[in-house]
């Protein structure tokens, strides 16, 4: 495995929402999708995914339905709800702002102060 | 939208708990399979792949648990755990649980019972259209001492003609009875004569048929509407009844409809017939008039307009001069008599609930203190405050719900007792009319009430201990291991308040109950002026209206009554029997009017008196003492000079010290024949026991026979033995003559004392309960306080303080608090007992003897409650005390 970044607390929800926003996925699929879209940089511990998923379902951000996976196994698929889409948008904006602010802070040069 | 989704998810989680659990398991298994598939593809064996997948997954059990929690039924599980823990704690201290549950059951039970009564009797709207806008309109004449008299037909017509703006509509009615023949035994039915707007006025939807049409206000139509009850009883609910005829007072009436069952609550009658419009002009007073207020018009506005109207009418008709009107909302007038009693009881049961809660809060507080260490340990192990508060709340709610369930049983029993022994009819004050009380029963809203009351009390006293606990520093609790240090007894302020409140409430209730005891014993010891024991009363109405009735001739009426009386007197077991127009205290009717004394002409005050037609033997049967002169004799009939007997009140008020015998009474209308006063009898309380006896003039019935008379029979035989014989005796004279309103005199007396009696019995029980609750509460607080000071007592004893001095000190300190409570109670009592004044007879609501007695009683009980635990503390072995924790 390549270098892995630590998952910041609170970012798992955002990653799940983003992964699912690209198309309905089952649990294992979400893990693979997160690894894929983060360039294999972010790996979620497999077990930790599920409490996060259920929390999002309970909050009404995800909805589920049973289907068949690409390897012909029965699996529960997760989809964004309208509220989930809205949340993803909000969270993405605030994350971008935060990331930009931190990047800016870290790149500050002493002579420019 | 989000909220809705979230709620749906939670709901689904709760409803499909086991299904979701399985789904979760399956999903996790799928995940492992998918991962194993991938690993297998990299070239390892299936078994090895599955093993690795499991390891990669991480703590399977841990994540499964966490997922469960995330699914949203975590809270239900914790609640269940708290409940189980709570139950275990409660089971561990059965004495505490029993004390708390029984106190709550009492508090909640009496409140539910009274809520049931108040809702069933006071709060239920009448089952008619816009019942809240209906008012009763009475005539009044303050000059003649008439506060509520039924208007006459002419009054009604006048009011209609004057077009009173505040009133949308007016309705006139008259209660009466009629004789139904030709359908089984002859029967006297309760009748109601109404104006033809009857149906629209009350918004009646008949069960069968129709109500009257406006143009049917003429006797030649002869139409009748039946009540539901009468229709079921007499016609077995036959729906094809319309068009059938019935014989009422010897005339044929056509039945056109049947009233709904609920209407009986307003008018408990059998048959309704319309007024003849022509007859209205001649109709005497004593009719009933209801008005319906226009929307948004107050009773006060309507009353003001009515008094202007009456002034206008008096200018046209001088004989109406001095007359005014009284308007009272129909819904309040019906329950006028019983409302004060129920409201006083409502206050009393509220107090009991507060007392019960105070006791339980105190118990919880004491236990909370002893559990301080447990709480401190739990907090240091990571329990949040929220969790601790929740635990306390669950425990107290458990107690409250247990108490509530027991209380519900108590309430059920009480309501059952009420249905059995409570009054069924109550009088309407000053109106010579009675109301049938609606039946009350415990329904869904009462159960909801109990549940809400339980939960609210549970939450209230459940919050006290944790709030007190968190007020202090938890580390201290851990350090001193719950050892009571002097001056560090937490929760003392709360306890002080509890003791003061308990003392005060107990005193108020004891004062109230003592006032009722004194008042009621006064009421029962009132001499009504006659001997009510072993008297049976019944009414007989001759059908003089009927065409061809022999009773159109007044002398035949007299003869018939004479025959009835002779036959009844002949029955073995009848000691004596007599006739009277009105039975005292029966609220049957009123007959009152002016009179003059011939020998005192020129006096400008018009005195008024109750008129009573009676038969010879009436005074002997009623055991009304003859004070002067002679009784009526059989010879005092139409052929002999007119005579009267007056009562003591009239003799005293109008003759003073003069001898009334031989003087003449003149009624200022009709024939104006002077009637000689031949006797004076004792005063009789006619309209109410507590009111003053009214001046009364007795006339011999043979000198002016009535249509309706009551027979009073003195007999030692039980009612159901003698009644058939009396009926047979009357039927042996006239086979078509019914008797009705058979009531024993004690029953009649019971109805006029029902409100004070209910208040008397219930308030006494409640005061006793309050006293016991307060004693237990004060005992509990003192025990706790003294227990906390065991070490201090030990120190004092070691240094040689005599046990008695310690006992004195402890009792003194404890009693100071109760005295504070008693003081507060006295103040409250002075304010609160004013509410009761309408229930009291012959005793002031601030009777000093009662207040003093109640204070002494409560103080003694409280001192005993303080003394017992203090004695135990003072007698302790000093060594044990010093070591005690």
The stretch B850-875 carries a mean pLDDT of 87
Cβ contact, residue pair B27, A27, below 8 Å? yes
Answer yes or no: do B282 and B158 share one domain. Answer: yes
Residues B572 and B504 in one domain: no
Q: Are residues B717 and B771 in the same domain?
A: no
Q: Does residue B110 register a pLDDT over 70?
A: yes
Domains and their CATH numbers in chain A: 11-112 (1.10.10.10)
B681 lies in some domain: yes
In A, which residues are within 8 Å of B69 by CB distance? 51
Instruction: State the nearest Cα–Cα gap between A71 and chain B, in angstroms.
Output: 8
Q: Which of B6, B35, B70 sits opposite A60 (nearest CB)?
A: B6
Q: What percent of chain B has pLDDT over 70?
A: 90
Contacting residues of A for B5, CB less than 8 Å apart: 59-60, 63, 81, 83
Q: How far is B9 from chain A (nearest CA, A)?
A: 5
Tens of pLDDT, residues B204-262: 999 999 999 888 887 778 899 999 999 999 899 888 988 999 988 878 899 999 999 88
Last residue in a domain, options B55, B74, B93: B74
Whether B544 contacts B557, CB under 8 Å: yes
Q: By residue range, what is the domain housing residue B371?
A: 339-526+754-883
Q: Is the pLDDT of residue B486 over 50?
A: no
On the question of pLDDT at B625 being above 60, the answer is yes
CA-to-CA distance for B160 and B441, rounded, in angstroms? Answer: 41
- pLDDT band, very low/low/confident/very high, at B484 (cuts 50, 70, 90): very low
Residue B79 lies in a domain: no
Rounded CA separation B142/B123 (Å):
32
Q: How much is the pLDDT for B5? A: 64
Inspect the interface and report whether the beta carbons of B34 and A52 lie closer than 8 Å: no
Do both B414 and B461 map to the same domain? yes
- Cα B580 to Cα B698: distance, rounded to the nearest angstrom: 9
Contacts of B19 (CB under 8 A, 6+ apart): none
Q: Touching check for B321 and chain A: CB below 8 Å? A: no
| Among candidate residues B398, B461, B407, the one with its CA nearest the CA of residue B105 | B407
Helix axes B803-832, B492-525, angle to 10 degrees: 60
Tokens at A113, concatenated: 């102060």
Question: Domain for residue B119, yes or no?
Answer: no
Cβ of B33 and A51 within 8 Å?
no
Is B468 found in the same domain as B359? yes
pLDDT value of residue B485: 44
Shortest Cα distance, chain A CAs vs residue B76, angstroms: 15
CB contact under 8 A, A75 and B30: yes
Q: Are strands B271-274 and B187-194 parallel, antiparallel or unpaired?
A: parallel
Same domain, B770 and B809: yes
Residue B875 inside a domain? The answer is yes
- Number of domains observed in the structure of chain B: 4
CA B835 to chain CA centroid, Å, is 15
- pLDDT, average across residues B75-102: 81
pLDDT 10s digits, B673-731:
888 999 999 999 887 777 778 889 999 988 887 888 899 999 988 888 888 888 888 88
ipTM: 0.84
Chain B residues touching A54 at Cβ < 8 A: 24, 67, 70-72
> Among B685, B709, B736, where does a domain finish?
B736
CA–CA separation, B246 vs B349, rounded Å? 51
Is the same domain home to B318 and B443?
A: no
Residue B488's pLDDT band (cuts 50, 70, 90):
very low
Task: Render pLDDT for B777-810 as a digit per residue (tens, 0 to 9).
Answer: 888 888 877 877 877 888 888 888 888 888 888 8
What does the block give as tokens for B638?
A: 């139409």
**Closest CA–CA distance from residue B785 to any residue of chain A (Å):** 50
Whether B497 is in a domain gets the answer: yes
Same domain, B590 and B703: yes
Residue B89 lies in a domain: no
CA distance, residue A73 to nearest chain B CA (Å): 8
Give me the pLDDT at residue B475, please: 55
Is residue B121, in this structure, part of any structural domain at all?
no
Chain A partners within 8 Å of B63 (Cβ): 47-48, 50-51
Instruction: State mean pLDDT over B863-875.
Output: 85
Which residue of chain B has the CA closest to A70?
A: B34
pLDDT digits (tens, 9 = 90+) for B388-420: 888 888 888 888 889 999 999 988 988 888 888
What crossing angle do the helices spanning B719-731 and B554-569 adopt, rounded to 10°? 140
Whether B798 is covered by a domain: the verdict is yes
Q: B169-194, pLDDT tens digit by residue? A: 999 988 887 888 888 778 888 889 89
Q: How many CB atoms lie within 10 A of CB A9?
A: 6
Using CB atoms, pick whichever of A27, A47, A54 lies closest to residue B71.
Answer: A54
* Residue A57 sits at the chain B interface (C-beta within 8 Å): yes
Residues of B numbered 51-70 whose beta carbons fall under 8 angstroms of chain A's beta carbons: which are they? 56-60, 62-63, 66-67, 69-70
Q: Which residue has the higher pLDDT, B302 or B521?
A: B302
What does the longest C-alpha to C-alpha distance in chain A come to?
61
Q: In this structure, are B719 and B832 located in the same domain?
A: no
B491 and B575: one domain?
no
For residues B404 and B326, membership in a common domain is answered with: no
Choose one of B303, B334, B365: the last residue of a domain: B334
Do the chains contact at A73 and B33, CB–CB below 8 Å? yes
Residues B826 and B847 in one domain: yes
Is B588 or B126 the better-scoring residue by pLDDT?
B126
């Amino acid at each position: 495995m390549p270098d892995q970044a630590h998952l910041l607390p609170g970012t798992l929800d955002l990653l799940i929402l983003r992964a699912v926003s690209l198309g309905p996925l089952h649990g294992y699929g979400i893990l693979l999708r997160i690894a894929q879209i983060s360039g294999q940089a972010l790996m979620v511990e497999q077990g930790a995914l599920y409490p996060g998923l259920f929390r999002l379902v309970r909050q009404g951000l995800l909805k589920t339905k049973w289907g068949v996976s690409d390897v012909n196994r029965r699996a529960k698929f997760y989809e964004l709800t309208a509220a989930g889409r809205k949340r993803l948008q909000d969270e993405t904006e605030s994350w971008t702002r935060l990331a930009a602010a931190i990047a800016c802070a870290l790149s500050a040069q002493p002579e420019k102060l | 939208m989000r909220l809705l989704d979230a709620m749906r998810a939670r709901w689904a989680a709760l409803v499909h708990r086991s299904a979701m659990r399985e789904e979760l398991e399956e999903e996790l298994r799928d995940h492992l399979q998918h991962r194993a598939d991938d690993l297998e593809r990299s070239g390892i064996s299936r078994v090895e792949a599955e093993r690795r997948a499991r390891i990669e997954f991480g703590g399977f059990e841990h994540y499964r648990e966490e997922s469960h929690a995330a699914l949203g039924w975590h809270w239900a599980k914790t609640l269940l755990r708290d409940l189980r823990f709570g139950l275990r704690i409660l089971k561990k201290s059965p004495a505490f649980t029993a004390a708390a549950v029984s106190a709550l059951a009492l508090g909640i039970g009496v409140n539910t019972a009274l809520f049931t009564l108040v809702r069933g009797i006071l709060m239920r709207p009448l089952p008619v259209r816009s019942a809240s806008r209906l008012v009763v309109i009475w005539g009044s004449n303050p000059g003649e001492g008439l506060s509520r008299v039924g208007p006459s037909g002419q009054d009604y017509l006048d009011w209609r003609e004057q077009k009173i703006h505040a009133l949308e509509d007016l309705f006139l009615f008259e209660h009466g009875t009629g004789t139904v023949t030709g359908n089984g035994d002859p029967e006297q039915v309760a009748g109601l004569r109404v104006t033809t707007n009857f149906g629209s006025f009350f918004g009646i939807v008949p069960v069968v048929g129709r109500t009257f049409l406006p143009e049917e206000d003429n006797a030649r139509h002869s139409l009748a509407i039946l009540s539901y009850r009468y229709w079921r009883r007499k016609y077995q609910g036959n729906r094809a009844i319309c068009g059938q005829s019935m014989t009422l007072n010897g005339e044929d009436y056509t039945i056109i409809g049947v009233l709904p069952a609920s209407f009986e609550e307003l008018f408990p009658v059998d048959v309704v017939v319309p007024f003849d419009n022509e007859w209205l002009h001649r109709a005497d007073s004593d009719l009933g008039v209801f008005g319906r207020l226009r929307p948004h018009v107050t009773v006060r506005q309507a009353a003001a307009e009515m008094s202007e109207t009456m002034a206008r009418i008096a200018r046209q008709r001088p004989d109406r001069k001095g007359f005014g009107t009284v308007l009272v909302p129909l819904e309040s007038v019906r329950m006028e008599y019983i409302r004060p009693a129920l409201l006083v009881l409502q206050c009393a049961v509220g107090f009991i609930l507060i007392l019960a809660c105070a006791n339980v809060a105190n118990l919880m507080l004491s236990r909370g203190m002893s559990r301080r260490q447990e709480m401190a340990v739990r907090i240091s192990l990571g329990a949040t405050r929220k969790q601790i508060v929740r635990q306390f709340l669950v425990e107290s709610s458990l107690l409250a719900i247990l108490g509530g369930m027991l209380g519900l049983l108590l309430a059920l029993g009480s309501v059952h007792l009420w249905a059995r022994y409570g009054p069924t009819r109550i009088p309407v004050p000053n109106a010579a009319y009675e109301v049938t009380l609606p039946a009350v029963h415990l329904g869904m809203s009462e159960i909801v009430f109990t549940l809400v009351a339980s939960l609210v009390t549970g939450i209230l006293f459940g919050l006290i201990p944790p709030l007190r606990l968190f007020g202090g520093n938890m580390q201290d609790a851990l350090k001193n291991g719950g050892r009571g240090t002097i001056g560090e007894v937490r929760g003392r302020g709360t306890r002080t308040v509890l003791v003061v409140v308990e003392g005060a409430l107990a005193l108020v209730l004891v004062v109230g109950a003592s006032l009722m005891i004194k008042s009621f014993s006064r009421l029962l010891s009132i001499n009504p002026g006659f001997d009510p024991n072993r008297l049976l009363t019944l009414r007989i109405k001759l059908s003089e209206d009927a065409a061809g009735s022999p009773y159109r001739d007044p002398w035949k009426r007299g003869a018939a009554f004479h025959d009835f009386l002779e036959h009844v007197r002949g029955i073995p077991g009848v000691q004596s029997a007599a006739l009277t127009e009105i039975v005292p205290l029966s609220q049957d009717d009123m007959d009152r009017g002016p009179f003059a004394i011939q020998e005192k002409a020129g006096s400008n005050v018009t005195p008024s008196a109750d008129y009573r037609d009676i038969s010879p033997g009436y005074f002997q049967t009623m055991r009304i003492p003859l004070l002067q002169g002679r009784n009526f004799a059989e010879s005092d009939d139409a052929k002999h000079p007119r005579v009267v007997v007056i009562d003591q009140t009239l003799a005293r008020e109008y003759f003073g010290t003069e001898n009334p015998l031989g003087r003449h009474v003149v009624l200022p209308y009709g024939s104006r024949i002077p009637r000689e006063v031949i006797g004076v009898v004792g005063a009789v309380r006619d309209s109410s026991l507590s009111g003053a006896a009214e001046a009364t003039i007795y006339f011999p019935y043979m000198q002016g026979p009535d249509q309706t008379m009551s027979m009073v029979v003195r007999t030692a035989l039980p009612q159901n033995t003698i009644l058939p014989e009396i009926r047979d005796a009357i039927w042996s004279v006239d086979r078509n003559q019914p008797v009705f309103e058979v009531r024993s005199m004690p029953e009649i007396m019971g109805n006029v004392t029902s409100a004070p009696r209910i208040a008397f019995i219930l308030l006494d029980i409640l005061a006793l309960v309050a006293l016991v609750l307060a004693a237990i509460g004060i005992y509990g607080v003192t025990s706790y306080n003294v227990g906390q000071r065991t070490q201090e007592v030990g120190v004092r004893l070691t240094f040689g303080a005599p046990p008695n001095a310690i006992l004195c000190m402890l009792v003194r300190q404890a009693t100071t608090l109760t005295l504070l409570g008693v003081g507060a109670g006295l103040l409250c009592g002075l304010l609160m007992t004013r509410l009761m004044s309408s229930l009291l007879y012959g005793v002031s609501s601030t009777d000093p003897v009662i207040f003093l007695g109640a204070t002494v009683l409560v103080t003694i009980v409280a001192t005993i409650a303080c003394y017992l635990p203090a004695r135990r503390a003072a007698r302790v072995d000093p060594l044990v005390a010093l070591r005690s924790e």
